[in-house]
């Protein structure tokens, strides 16, 4: 099978290596607005060759759109305009509501499958692509009842080949859940980085003390604004809901510290410890 | 050299294995209010034997106090009461101001060196002790001008044997800096865990989506309240200052989302990315 990947960054590039290495794809064509990314991707052997969007679509069985989510809503309808009834198109975006809306009335809608392989790092670009990024993680398929069964089956076999665990959500639920388990973590890290960097202006030596706990909490603050602003923009309402809850939890801690109510604070930390049952 | 370690948890236990394995100590005596911890520490070969506080002090060249920081302010004066002019005592606490105050007028103050090896994990107890916890990390020595030079020299050689990088701070600066690079990370993680756990009540499936980014940000929320409440209590004023700053950064993000001012948000994320120069 020939696969085109539109957008050869962390996610597109990592899928490219993975699907070539495991034999799911015999040939991978890369498409990217930035010719540097194509050069890097060929040199790193992520893709076999670079082509224009039109050439790539014409030669592919499957087209994977892996651009930032704001481009996806523009690119997906253009790609669907050009495919035939046997080709399949997927996105791998971190948001779903607006992406699904962008194609909902398209005559080729049923050849499209909305997916979100839940994996990533704080790095971006083809230089950050890694082969085992997705292995044994979860991938979400959204609103598959609006896709042709053969297209869904192909995409399930693609993700099973990695292998990833597949779960199904409707687009709206996906966007609520990812606000909680991914988007708020990024907001929190960005804010924590700014908090600490503001202090650094006075005290250069502070970072000699930065411990592994600090690095772990702030790691995501290295993530690219070009990836994350479109996500926050598209999922604004859900992100605002979770952010309000998070600020209110922090304000509760603040008020307990002011009142020196360490007994209640102790109980809340014990409750927070229950996160153990979720993350290993 | 014989070393007694008072409090055989993550930090005390990890120091025990490390100093025995590298030959700095020939014999390690453990003291713990919880006899289970002594049993576990002997079975895990962290210590050679368990003793009472008085017996342990009488037989040791060096006494390391590694209890939670609220116990330290009680235990340190008791230990100094019982040592002779050749013995040395250190603490390994995450706060310094109140610990230094607890011994400032003690006649044996100069045999005490205040230290903080900056390393840890989200786990606690002797079962969580690991040999390479401290390797190549930073350790802080505080207010060494109030300690005898031979005592400081011994402690420097102890940390160099691990090896750790040694830096010097006064106690007050230490407590400000750790509020920024360690304590606020824990507050943030605890609050994030509560935010997400509150949501879980409605939506059990949410956690199938929990990604590695989420785990990294929330990992510290597994940390014990028995360790952290005493730290927050002792370092309350600094923690409140940083928490206020952090809440104000998050509130700024909130207001940008409400106003849909994604250009400013993009700039702030680019600023947050500068954390790259600090954490690798």
pLDDT digits (tens, 9 = 90+) for A82-94: 999 999 999 999 9
- Which pLDDT does position A205 carry in this prediction? 66
Q: Is-cis flag, bond preceding A208, omega within 30?
A: no
Residue percentage of chain A with pLDDT more than 90: 88
**SS3 at position B125:** coil
Do A154 and A214 have their domain in common?
no
- Which pLDDT does position A203 carry in this prediction? 60
Quick check: B33 contacting A, CB < 8 Å?
no
Instruction: For residue B241, give every residue at least 6 positions away whose Cβ sits within 8 Å of its Cβ, in sequence order, or none.
Output: B179
Residue A167: closest CA among chain B residues belongs to which residue?
Answer: B208
Predicted confidence (pLDDT) per residue in A34-83, tens digit: 999 999 999 999 999 999 999 999 999 999 999 999 999 999 999 999 99
As a whole number of angstroms, the distance between CA B140 and CA A13 comes to: 43
* B236/A242 touch (CB, cutoff 8 Å), yes or no: no
Among residues B131, B152, B169, which one ends one of the domains? B169
* Number of compact structural domains in chain A: 2
How many Cα atoms within 13 Å fall on the side-chain side of residue B257? 25
- Residue B27: beta bridge partners? B2
Minimal CA separation from A178 to chain B, in Å: 7
Do B268 and B161 have their domain in common?
no
Predicted confidence (pLDDT) per residue in B229-270, tens digit: 999 999 999 999 999 999 999 999 999 999 999 999 999 999
As a whole number of angstroms, the distance between CA B120 and CA B19 comes to: 17
**SS3 at position A144:** helix
Chain B residues with CB-CB distance to A216 below 8 A = 185, 216-217, 219-220
We report the CATH number of the domain holding residue A242 as 1.10.3660.10
* B214/A187 touch (CB, cutoff 8 Å), yes or no: no
ipTM above 0.90, yes or no: yes
Residue percentage of chain B with pLDDT more than 70: 96
Q: Which residue has the tokens 């606000």?
A: A179
Quick check: B243 contacting A, CB < 8 Å?
yes
Average pLDDT of B114-118?
96
Whether pLDDT at B202 is above 70: no
Residue-wise burial string across B111-144, b where 16 or more C-beta atoms lie within 10 A, e elsewhere: bbbbbbbbbbbbebbbebbebebbeebbbbbbbb
We report the CATH number of the domain holding residue A119 as 3.40.50.720
Closest CA to A12 of A24, A26, A29, A36: A29
Predicted confidence (pLDDT) per residue in B117-158, tens digit: 999 899 999 999 999 999 999 999 999 999 999 999 999 999
Burial class from Cβ neighbours inside 10 Å (0-12, 13-18, 19+) for residue A252 reads: middle
User: Over the Cα atoms of chain B, what is R_g?
Assistant: 21
Confidence of residue B214 (pLDDT cuts 50, 70, 90): confident
Instruction: For residue A153, give every residue at least 6 positions away whose Cβ sits within 8 Å of its Cβ, in sequence order, or none.
Output: none
Chain B residues with CB-CB distance to A207 below 8 A = 181, 278
Whether pLDDT at A280 is above 70: no
Average pLDDT of B18-46?
97
- Which pLDDT does position B15 carry in this prediction? 98
**SS3 at position A47:** coil
- Could you say which of B178, B213, B243 has the minimum Cβ distance to residue A186? B213
Do A112 and A180 have their domain in common?
no
Residue percentage of chain B with pLDDT more than 90: 88
Predicted confidence (pLDDT) per residue in A259-271, tens digit: 999 999 999 999 9
Chain A residues with CB-CB distance to B193 below 8 A = 272-275
- Which pLDDT does position B25 carry in this prediction? 98
Minimal CA separation from B211 to chain A, in Å: 6
Structural contact between residues A275 and B196, judged by C-beta atoms closer than 8 angstroms: yes
Whether pLDDT at B171 is above 80: yes
Among residues B169, B201, B218, which one ends one of the domains? B169
Do B144 and B262 have their domain in common?
no
- Could you say which of B228, B246, B258 has the minimum Cβ distance to residue A269? B228
Chain A residues with CB-CB distance to B96 below 8 A = none
Do B60 and B148 have their domain in common?
yes
Do B102 and B152 have their domain in common?
yes
Do B145 and B205 have their domain in common?
no
Chain B residues with CB-CB distance to A191 below 8 A = 246, 249-250, 253, 272
Predicted confidence (pLDDT) per residue in B76-98, tens digit: 999 999 999 999 999 999 999 99
Confidence of residue A202 (pLDDT cuts 50, 70, 90): low
* B265/A192 touch (CB, cutoff 8 Å), yes or no: no
* B272/A140 touch (CB, cutoff 8 Å), yes or no: no
Domain range holding B187? 174-277
List, as ranges, residues 115-144 from B with C-beta within 8 Å of A.
118-122, 137-138, 140
Minimal CA separation from B198 to chain A, in Å: 9
Residue-wise burial string across A18-27, b where 16 or more C-beta atoms lie within 10 A, e elsewhere: bbbeeebbee
- Could you say which of B191, B206, B243 has the minimum Cβ distance to residue A246? B191
What values do phi and psi take at A84, rounded to 5? -100, 180
Do B142 and B190 have their domain in common?
no
Closest CA to A253 of B198, B230, B236: B236
Chain A residues with CB-CB distance to B241 below 8 A = none
Q: Which residue has the tokens 């008020």?
A: A255
CA distance from start to end of chain B: 37
Q: What is the mean pLDDT of chain A?
A: 94
Compute how many other C-beta atoms are within 10 angstroms of the C-beta atom of residue A184.
Answer: 26
Do B82 and B143 have their domain in common?
yes
- Which pLDDT does position B44 carry in this prediction? 95
- Which pLDDT does position A208 carry in this prediction? 73
Structural contact between residues B147 and B80, judged by C-beta atoms closer than 8 angstroms: no
Do B54 and B121 have their domain in common?
yes
Pairing of strands A88-91, A62-65: parallel
Do B242 and B209 have their domain in common?
yes
Whether pLDDT at B168 is above 80: yes
Residue percentage of chain A with pLDDT more than 70: 96
Chain A residues with CB-CB distance to B273 below 8 A = 193, 221-225
What values do phi and psi take at A106, rounded to 5? -75, 135
Closest CA to B126 of B203, B21, B31, B212: B31
Among residues A124, A152, A169, which one ends one of the domains? A169
Do A223 and A253 have their domain in common?
yes
Q: Which two tokens stand for residue A101?
A: 């809306």
- Could you say which of A209, A214, A242 has the minimum Cβ distance to residue B140? A209
* A180/B199 touch (CB, cutoff 8 Å), yes or no: yes
Structural contact between residues A123 and A222, judged by C-beta atoms closer than 8 angstroms: yes
Quick check: A210 contacting B, CB < 8 Å?
yes
Predicted confidence (pLDDT) per residue in A143-177, tens digit: 999 999 999 999 999 999 999 999 999 999 999 99
């Amino acid at each position: 099978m020939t696969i085109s990947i539109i957008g050869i960054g962390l996610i597109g590039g990592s899928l490219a290596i993975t699907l070539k290495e495991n034999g799911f794809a015999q040939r991978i064509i890369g498409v990217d607005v930035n010719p540097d990314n194509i050069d890097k991707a060929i040199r790193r052997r992520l893709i076999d060759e670079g082509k224009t969007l039109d050439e790539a679509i014409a030669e592919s069985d499957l087209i994977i759109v892996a651009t930032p989510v704001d481009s996806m809503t523009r690119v997906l309808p253009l790609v669907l305009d050009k495919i035939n009834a046997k080709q399949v198109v997927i996105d791998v975006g971190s948001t779903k509501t607006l992406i699904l809306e962008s194609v909902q009335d398209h005559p080729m809608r049923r050849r499209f499958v909305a997916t979100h392989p839940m994996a990533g790092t704080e790095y971006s670009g083809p230089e950050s692509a890694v082969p085992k990024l997705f292995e044994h993680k979860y991938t979400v398929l959204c609103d598959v009842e609006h896709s042709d069964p053969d297209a869904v089956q192909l995409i399930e076999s693609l993700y099973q080949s990695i292998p990833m665990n597949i779960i199904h959500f409707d687009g709206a639920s996906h966007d609520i859940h990812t606000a909680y388990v991914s988007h708020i973590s990024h907001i929190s890290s960005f804010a924590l980085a700014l908090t600490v960097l503001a202090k650094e202006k006075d005290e250069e030596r502070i970072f000699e003390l930065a411990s592994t706990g600090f690095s772990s909490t702030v790691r995501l603050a290295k993530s690219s604004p070009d990836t994350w602003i479109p996500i926050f923009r598209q999922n604004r309402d859900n992100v605002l809901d979770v952010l309000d809850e998070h600020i209110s939890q922090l304000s509760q801690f603040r008020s307990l510290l002011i009142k020196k109510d360490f007994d209640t604070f102790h109980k809340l930390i014990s409750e927070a410890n229950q996160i153990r049952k979720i993350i290993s």
